[in-house]
Every structure is written in structure tokens, then in C-alpha cells.
Amino acid sequence: MSELVSAYAAPEEREAEASVRPKRLDEFIAQHRVREQLELLLQGAVRRGRPPDHILLSGPPGLGKTTLAMIVAAELGAGLRITSGPAIERSGDLAAVLTSLAQGDVLFIDEVHRIARPAEELLYSAMEDFRVDVVIGKGPGATAIPLDVEPFTLVGATTRAGLLTGPMRDRFGFVGQLNFYEPEELEQLIARSARIVGVPVTAGGAHEIARRSRGTPRIANRLLRRVRDYAEVRADGVVTEEIAHAALAVYDVDDLGLDRLDRSVLHALVDSFGGGPVGLSTLAVAVGEERDTVEEVCEPFLVRAGLLARTPRGRVATAGAWRHLGRTPPNGTFAGGAPSAPDLFSSEP
């Protein structure tokens, strides 16, 4: 498995991540355009004394969508309820959450594109009219009972914006696209996190961790914790550039930020399939992982780094992938290059 640099948070890591989360918009590093837009939206709502429009945050995992939802509630001085799309299997589940909201509350639904269709249809009327129709009974004798919902703000987060239905997307008054962080921004984030958790880190140490963090704050904080362990056990506790380099070598994170699973995918493409093209399911079997793990954990970064390409015929190793593995790319190898942002969330086979 590739838990070390996966941008998906494991349950046991959430407490550690919560300790370094920014609490207000002015503490949130990077995403400057989204921050400015949210600030205008929230300040306007506060001045009018009404809940702001519903908010959709999209982008890869680990960039701060959950943190921004918490910040929205804090800036509004409102209560926050948190749930996820997969947890809402029936419309009754959603109705119970909605009818328990107090006026002005913020409801955060992670992976909102995975809400079951009956629940999604119930959410439409709640978002527009602050009303839900609860069906009592079955068959010809079924009765729909309308229930009022207190005015609230829905903050939806998705890593797969293309999977949202049109009616759902249209009901969000604000859509924010979160982008990967620049290394300089991650250095600021690492320095801030290090101060909070009491880890001495030099500028070189922060730089070394940042450049291997795949543009993702969650990964940067995770690598900082692992480098801290190394520094405390095998050095004097200070995270320097040399210590960070040695620690990340122990944890199999290479100079580009690739871990064991990423390199396994590239080795399979190059060694077993001659660079491709090869189907995603076949590639997943070759590396002994689930299809979803390869597609959602490995591929976005490998594509963005210009090491893997998605084509109509399957996945292809680029010339950069061959060179990264120390091989000479054959003539005619796909040249590669980073794709545009929407390609990172493509659902190609």
C-alpha cells in the first residue's frame, strides 16, 4: 500500500492534521483567488444577515476542502455539521440531517458526487426552497409530508466534479476550484505546521520536504511528521536539508515525490508492457492494487508530472517515465507533458 504519500487521510491521522488546520481565512496559505472570492461571499452574507449561497469546492484530495468548510462556519459564527456522500444511502438519512439543522448552520458533505440519487433529489428542494418532502408508507397509500428546513448553507466537496449531475451543480451559487500548491507555498505551510507542533526545521529542510510533497498540503504535513521521527531518533531533532533527504530515502519517497506504488506502476508500464498502451484494470492487477487506488491515488500526480498519459487505448509511459527509471526511451515514445487541470479528473477507461 502507499499510505505514506497518499493524499487521502487515514482515520488515525485526522487528529494530527486537525492540530495544524488554519482556523480563519487569513491563516489559509495559497489558493489566493478562492480565498478572495470566499471572503467577499461571506462578508456580504454577514452584512445582509442571511446565509450565503451554497458552496461547491472541487479539486484533488488533500488541498484543503474540508478545512475551508470549517473556516466558512467559523467566519459566519455558525454551527457545522459534517457528513459524506457515501454515508447518505437513503433519502431518509438526509432528511434526518437536514431537519436537525439550526438556522444559519453550515452542512458539509464530502464527496458530494457520491450521494445516492433518491437523496440527491431530496436535496434539490432543500437547497432551493428549504423544504423536504418525506414520504410515509409505500405503494398507492404513500403520503408525502412537507417539512420546513431552517435556512442553511451547504458546502459540498468533490474530487470528481465531472460526476456531479447538472441539476446538482446548478444549485451551487459559488464554485471554487482548488489547485495544487507551488513548492514555495508548501514551504510556508511546512514552516507554520512545524511551529505549531514544535519541530525545529531549517529553510533547507522545509524546501526538501516541500519539493517532494506533490503540491499537496496533506502530504507535506504527513512527510513533516515522518521526517520529525527520523530527526528525533537518528539525529539531534532538527529537520535540516540533509536530515530530510535521508529520512525520505528511508520512507521510499524519491526526488519527484514518487513512492513505491508510483514506481511500481511505472515499472509495470515500462518493463511488463513496453511502455503501453495498457488498460487501467490490467495495470492494477500487474501492481497488485485495486483499480480505484491506481486511478485516484497514483494517476493524478503521474499525469501532472508528465510521466504517464491517458489515451483512448489505455495508459502510456512517457519519455520522462523511461528516463526517471534510468532507461532510454525507444523512438516514438509519447513525449509527455503536464495536462490541463480537468484532465486530472478524467474518467477515461
Residues designated as active site: 65-66, 110, 159, 218
* Pair 164, 113: CB distance under 8 Å: yes
CA distances from 135 to 121, 138, 142, 177, 249 (A): 13, 8, 6, 36, 58
Q: Identify each DSSP E strand in the chain by its residue range.
A: 55-58, 80-84, 106-110, 131-136, 143-148, 153-158, 174-177, 308-311, 314-317
Half-sphere exposure of 349 (CA within 13 A, CB side): 5
- Between CA 192 and CA 201, with CA 188 as vertex, the angle to 5 degrees is 60
How many other β-carbons are positioned within 10 Å of the β-carbon of residue 4? Answer: 16
* Pair 314, 280: CB distance under 8 Å: yes
* Pair 103, 126: CB distance under 8 Å: no
CA distances from 337 to 256, 307, 320 (A): 15, 8, 9
DSSP state of 192: H
Q: How large is the C-alpha radius of gyration of the chain?
A: 22
Rounded-to-integer distance, Cα 89 and Cα 92, Å: 9
* Pair 59, 177: CB distance under 8 Å: yes
Regarding beta strands 80-84 and 106-110, do their DSSP bridges make them parallel or antiparallel, or are they unpaired? parallel
Cell of 116: 445516492
Evaluated on CA atoms 119, 98, 111, 85, the torsion sign reads negative
45 bridge partner residues: none
